[in-house]
Structures are given as C-alpha cells and as structure tokens.
Structure 1
Amino acid sequence: MIDLSLIWVGIIGLGVLIYVVLDGFDLGIGIMFPFIKDQQERDVMMNTVAPVWDGNETWMVLGGAGLYAAFPLVYATVLSALYLPIILMVVALIFRGVAFEFRFKANRSKYLWDLAFIWGSILSSFMQGVILGAYIQGIETQNGIYAGGALDWLTPFSLFTGLGVVVMYATLGCGWLILKTDHELQQKMFQLMPKMIIALLVIFAGVSLYTALTHAEIAARWFTTPNLFYFSPVPLLVLLFVGLILKACKNHQELKPFVYTLALVFLAFSGFVISLWPNIIPPSVTIWQAASPHSSQLFALVGAVILIPIIIAYTILSYWVFRDKVRVGDDGYH
C-alpha cells in the first residue's frame, strides 16, 4: 500500500516552502520600507509585488487545509497551542492587505497606510517566526489533546526565531528589489543586502546552537556518526552561499543575490526537517501516529492532484507576465 502520509507531508512541506519564498520577499518589502523615505521609491517597491501579492497566501491556505485533511490531530493540537500568535499574524496580514488597496488612493492619510503596511509586514513575519520557534521547542500533549498553557509559546527562543524570520524575509525582500528595480533604489538595496545577510547568518548560528544545546535528540541526530557526514554539507553550503551573496553584491550582480538567498531558505528548511523528522508534533508524535484514515487521505489527495498544478500554473504565469523591472514614473498599481 502506498504511504499516503509521506505523500501528504511532501505536499504540505512544498506548500509551506513556496509560501515562505513567495510571501517572504513580499513581506520583506514592507520590512524594508523604513529604510526608504522617498514616496516615489516606496511606490516602486510596492509595485514590484502589487499584481501578484494576494496569490501568495494561497499556499498558506493549502498547508492549513492539508493538515486538516491528512493530519487532523496536528491541526487540532498545534492550532490550540499557537492560537494567539496565529490570530495576531492573521490580523497583521489583514491590515497589510488593506494597506495595499488604500495606500495608492490616499493623500493626507497616506503615511498611516505606510505604517499599516510596515507594521503589518513586521508583525506577521515576527509571529510566523514565533510560531516556528514554539513548534521546534515542542508541544505538550496528553492523549492527543493539547495539555499546555495559553502562553507556552512565549519564550526567549520563540522571540529570537521571530526576529530571525523578520531578518530572513527582509533579506529576501532586499534581493527581490535588487532584481526588480534600478538606479538609486537598487543601489540602496545593494548596500543593505550585505548587512542583512550577515545578520541572517548570526541568527542561523544562534538558532542552530540553541536547538542543539537544549534538545539532546536533535544534537544526537546531527553530531553522531554517520549522520555527521551526511548532514555536514548543510552548514557548509550555508557559509558558501553567504560568501557568494556578498561577492554578488560587491560586483553589483542583479539576479544572484536573490537566487542565493533562496538557496539559504531551502537549506534552513532542510535543516528544520532533518532536526524534527519523523515527528510532526514535536517532540514525540510521528506523522503516522497523527495521520487521518487512509480513505480520508486518499479522498483529499484527489482534490490536491487536480488543484495544485492549477495553482502552480497561474502562479508561474502571473510572475512571468509581470517579470520586467519597475521604475519610478511607471504606470503601476492604482
């Protein structure tokens, strides 16, 4: 019999990874707003994603729906544990989405919509990082029911990972703007990118060190042989791509900073999977223990096989149609 649980983990993982990439640089643009004061340049920044931003959340919905269908225990337990940060993230995304529509229409209140866009981007990114940190720390369950407190997610580690996701999204946004803009705005991004990437490297190191020191089972997975030899390319590749990004910025190469940052995101995601596998509710509930019945997974898989190619196709088409650079004075999003 085909292991549908593994297939669904792959589908949900793919959805989460695509969401982090697409909405990552999208949110990163809002995080970068405070570094740019000129209103015309801010218009350009928003116009680089204005035609496509609202399709990015599709992947978040796919991940949530996939959990509900294939791993209802995870859906119930994790959402119960992380209810407050999830609600704060959604509220921030709402304010940010409204800012997209209202900012270009406003005159006297434009600065207020700038603030909504900035803080909606920062808070939603921060809460996603907090959710990640709380998930890595583990979720207390008894008989398949969340047994922790309402604020168990609020720890120094989760706050640090919240900051880490903000920096990671800002780095993605910076790389995206290098690719999509030119002249003064692009030069500003070239100057900011090395600072962002060094900060991101420090945060990667901090999260990795803390996780290894506080979770013996994760440390054993990474640092015992033969796993040490299998997984050692991950941190080495991180250092390699950081160096390549710094070199690309120094040489003012437009595409490479963004592509190499995507590689760093993929490596971070790989490290996350390696650390927790096969647990889907850390520290002890595996994907098979949390899976729904085979018939339920198969029924949902039929819909996923139909819909996911359609979502991928229109996502690729939208980015292809709006692939050119955006410049000051262009007839952008109005």
Structure 2
Amino acid sequence: MDITIVWAAIIAFGLAMYVVLDGFDLGIGILFPLFPDDDERSRLMSSVAPVWDGNETWMVLGGASLYAVFPMVYSVVLSALYLPLLLMAICLIFRGVSFELRGKARRTRHLWDLAFIGGSAGATFFQGVVIGSWLSGMPVVDGHFAGGAFDWFTPFSLFTGLALVITYALLGCCWLIAKTDGDLRRRLYRLATPLTVLQVATILGVTLWTPQLAPMFKARWSEPAVMLPGLLAPAVVALCACGMFYAVRQRRRTRPFVFALGFVLAGYIGLLATVYPFAILPGVNIWQAAAPRSSQTFTLIGAAIVVPVILAYTALGYRVFRGKTDHAELHYH
C-alpha cells in the first residue's frame, strides 16, 4: 500500500468536506445584504447556528495534515500565499465573533451584520484566490518558495475568488430553501435561478482559462485517465443545471441543495484529475513533497481515530438539528 496516496486521499477528502459543509454557511453571510429585515437575518443565522463551528474542523484537519505529512507543501504555500491566507483568517475571526455577539447586541447589531457579511464574503474570496494561485503555479528552489510576495495577485486568481463567492452563495441559497418556509423561501427560489446561471458561467470560465495557464494542463487533458472525467464534467454540470431549474420550478425543498452539491463535486473531481499527482505546480509531486514514511505511518494512526470521530459528531449534529428552522427558534441567541 502506498501510504502517500492514502494521505493525499485523506487530505483531499477533508478539503472536500470543508468546501461542502462550511461553504453553505459562508454563503449565508454572502446573501445577508439581500435580506435586510432583522428577523429574517436571525432566521438565516439560526439555520446554521448549531453546526457552523463544527464545519470548520475540516479546515483544521487539512492544515494539520499538510504540516505533518507534506511539510514542503505547507511551507511553500504558506510562504507564497501568506497575505491571502492571513486576510482569510482575519475574515473568519470577524465572522465568528459576529456570530456569537450579534444576537446579544442591540444598538450595534448593524455593525455585527457588516462584520458577518464582510467576514463571510472575504473569507470565501480569499479561499478562491488561494485555489487560483495554486493552480497558476509556484516557483520552488531547493524545497523553498522562490517567488514574490504578490505573485498571487493575478487576474485568474481574482476570477477564481469571485467564482467561489458565487458557488458558496448558491450553496447557501439552496441550504436556506431546505431550512425555511413562507415568503422568505419564495424569494430564495427566485434567487436560485440567476445564481445557477452565474455558477455555470464561472465553471465554464475556469475550465477555458485553466489550460492557458501552463502547457502541462493541455497535455494532461489529452491523457486517457484525465480525458474521461474531462468529458463527463460538462455533462454533469449540464445535468445539475437542468435539475436545478426543474427543482426550483417545482418548488422542491431539498433537491436544489443536492444539485448545488453536484456542481461543487464535479468541479472538485475535475480539479483533482487535472493536477494529480502534483502537490505543488508545476513540477513537485506528492512523493517528492511527502514526509518520511515513518512520520506518515505514525500520523496515520492518529487520523484513523480522529477522522471517524469527526464524521460521527458531524453526522450526529446534522441529524439532531434536521428539519426547518422555525421563526422563534433562534439557536444562536
């Protein structure tokens, strides 16, 4: 068994869980300006209040795993993307504080609303910037980052930041459709259609732009192992778009969220198929970036305990708090 591949799969799984779970609650903050009524905003926050902090556990797992198992990736990415990662962390702090204090504030509640909006949108945008910068490549010399402090600031990374904002907004919208009712839910249905159109447009934009970043991407997409997912991805995106439009028109409660997840998973699988087995683009693979096998084995024992525990309490939390969020059910107060 190749333990390096096992660890790469664990980290990929953890990041996917983070995008799916924390994506929709960040998306709620992005949608906040469209719902100025204070009572509606309380309902929006209550829909994720029991689970939002647990969702971020997957980010912690991914970062800790990179540090322990792929130290070169950790050091290079942190050096190359220090500013966007720092700004993302600051945004997450503001968002978390606003989540805890908004329900207790009275005269300053509008300020905490702004912190929640800015923290959610900012954290999402800089996550997208990190993805775009990683895809664009990072110069590495003797295992260390050899570029500049602002190499991440490119049109492509800014576009991927915007694309992730749209993705999370759609996830948040569809989550709220499943958790709310009445006039609020009807307005969310109307919002889902334009967000779906923007989602398809950004997926198309990233798909067409990525091969222009480096010759290796064009070569990779011509390989049989990558060509099949590459051919299936547009079909999956088209299927999800059609399913989303139909589900919204039929006023389905949970299916829009399922199709929104389909967009995310299709894009994520396509990304992994494109870059595997590289850990740092354009030329450092996962075996070159990995820690010694003894370190990987030792940390894998811990992961075998921790990951099932995280999965168990995540599943339990969503099961306990399943169903719609009632008007008076303000969990975060």
- Judge same fold: TM > 0.5, yes or no: yes
In structure 2, C-alpha distance between the alignment counterparts of 1:224 and 1:290, rounded to whole Å: 24
- Pairwise CA distance, 1:37: 1.3
- 1:59-102 deviations in Å (ceiling 9; x for gaps): 00100111111111111111110111000000000000000111
Q: Does 2:213 align with 1:214?
A: yes
- 1:130-157 deviations in Å (ceiling 9; x for gaps): 0000000001111111000000001011
Distance 1:314 1:230, change over 3 A: closer
- 1:244-289 deviations in Å (ceiling 9; x for gaps): 1011101110111001111111111011111111100011000011
Q: Does 2:254 align with 1:263?
A: no
Code of the aligned partner of 1:51: P
Of 206-215 and 220-229, more deviation after overlay is shown by 220-229
Q: Which residue of 2 aligns with 1:5?
A: 4
- Pairwise CA distance, 1:331: 4.5
Matches within 5 A, 1:119-130: 119-130=118-129
Code of the aligned partner of 1:128: Q
Q: Does 2:90 align with 1:91?
A: yes
In structure 1, C-alpha distance between the alignment counterparts of 2:228 and 2:108, rounded to whole Å: 57
In structure 1, C-alpha distance between the alignment counterparts of 2:13 and 2:94, rounded to whole Å: 27
In structure 2, C-alpha distance between the alignment counterparts of 1:24 and 1:174, rounded to whole Å: 11
- Whether the aligned pair in 1 keeps the contact of 2:100 and 2:332 (CA below 8 Å) is no
Matches within 5 A, 1:168-247: 168-223=167-222, 227-229=226-228, 231-247=230-246
In structure 2, C-alpha distance between the alignment counterparts of 1:106 and 1:230, rounded to whole Å: 49
Q: Which residue of 2 aligns with 1:249?
A: 248
- Alignment root-mean-square deviation, CA: 1.1
In structure 2, C-alpha distance between the alignment counterparts of 1:225 and 1:66, rounded to whole Å: 31
Distance 1:228 1:303, change over 3 A: closer
Q: Does 2:72 align with 1:73?
A: yes
SS in 2 for 1:289: helix
Q: Which residue of 1 aligns with 2:116?
A: 117
In structure 2, C-alpha distance between the alignment counterparts of 1:320 and 1:225, rounded to whole Å: 41
In structure 2, C-alpha distance between the alignment counterparts of 1:331 and 1:200, rounded to whole Å: 31
Code of the aligned partner of 1:81: A
- Pairwise CA distance, 1:324: 1.7
- 1:32-54 deviations in Å (ceiling 9; x for gaps): 10111111111000000011111
Q: Does 2:140 align with 1:141?
A: yes
- Pairwise CA distance, 1:329: 2.5
Q: Does 2:130 align with 1:131?
A: yes
In structure 2, C-alpha distance between the alignment counterparts of 1:322 and 1:290, rounded to whole Å: 41
- Pairwise CA distance, 1:221: 2.1
- 1:106-129 deviations in Å (ceiling 9; x for gaps): 111000000000000000000000
SS in 1 for 2:288: coil
Code of the aligned partner of 1:248: A
Q: Does 2:275 align with 1:276?
A: yes
In structure 2, C-alpha distance between the alignment counterparts of 1:226 and 1:297, rounded to whole Å: 27
Of 225-234 and 204-213, more deviation after overlay is shown by 225-234
Q: Which residue of 2 aligns with 1:24?
A: 23
Distance 1:67 1:225, change over 3 A: closer
SS in 2 for 1:104: helix
Q: Which residue of 2 aligns with 1:150?
A: 149
Code of the aligned partner of 1:324: G
Matches within 5 A, 1:306-321: 306-321=305-320
- 1:299-319 deviations in Å (ceiling 9; x for gaps): 000000011100100000011
In structure 2, C-alpha distance between the alignment counterparts of 1:191 and 1:172, rounded to whole Å: 14
Q: Which residue of 2 aligns with 1:64?
A: 63
In structure 2, C-alpha distance between the alignment counterparts of 1:234 and 1:194, rounded to whole Å: 21
Q: Percent identity?
A: 49
SS in 2 for 1:157: helix
TM, length-normalised to structure 1: 0.97
- Whether the aligned pair in 1 keeps the contact of 2:72 and 2:290 (CA below 8 Å) is yes
Of 229-238 and 305-314, more deviation after overlay is shown by 229-238
SS in 2 for 1:280: strand
Give unmatched runs, 5+ long, in structure 2: none
In structure 2, C-alpha distance between the alignment counterparts of 1:321 and 1:312, rounded to whole Å: 14
In structure 2, C-alpha distance between the alignment counterparts of 1:174 and 1:4, rounded to whole Å: 39
- Pairwise CA distance, 1:213: 2.4
Q: Does 2:36 align with 1:37?
A: yes
- 1:184-243 deviations in Å (ceiling 9; x for gaps): 111111000011011011111111111112322212222456753453011111111111
The total of aligned residue pairs comes to 333
